[in-house]
Amino acid sequence: MSDGLTTTAAASAAVGVFKIALGVEYKGSRYRGFQRQRAGVPTIQESLEKALAKVAGGVPVTLSCAGRTDALVHASAQVVHFNTPVERSMHAWVMGANMNLPGDISVTWAKSMPAHFDARFCAQARRYRYVIYNDQIRPAHMAEEVTWNHRPLDVERMREAAKAFIGTHDFSAFRARQCQAKSPIKTVHHLELLQHGRFIVLDIRANAFLHHMVRNLAGVLMTIGAGERPVEWAQEVLETRVRRTGGVTAHPYGLYLVQVDYPDEFDLPKRYLGPHFLSGLPDVAADA
Q: Which residues are catalytic?
A: 70
Q: Are 22 and 110 in contact (CB under 8 A)?
A: yes
What size, in residues, is the chain? 288
Please state the three-class secondary structure of 23-90 as a single string: EEEECCCCCCCCCCCCCCCCCHHHHHHHHHHHHCCCCCCCCEECCCCCCCCEEEEEEEEEEECCCCCH
Q: Measured in Å, how far apart are the chain's first and last C-alpha atoms?
A: 26
Q: Would you state the torsion angle of the CA atoms of residues 178, 180, 185, 188, taken in this order, to the nearest 10 degrees?
A: -80
Residues 6+ apart with CB under 8 A from 235: 164
State the amino acid at position 19 in one-letter form: K
User: Is 253 annotated as ligand-binding?
Assistant: no
Return binding residues: 128
**Annotated binding-site members for substrate:** 128
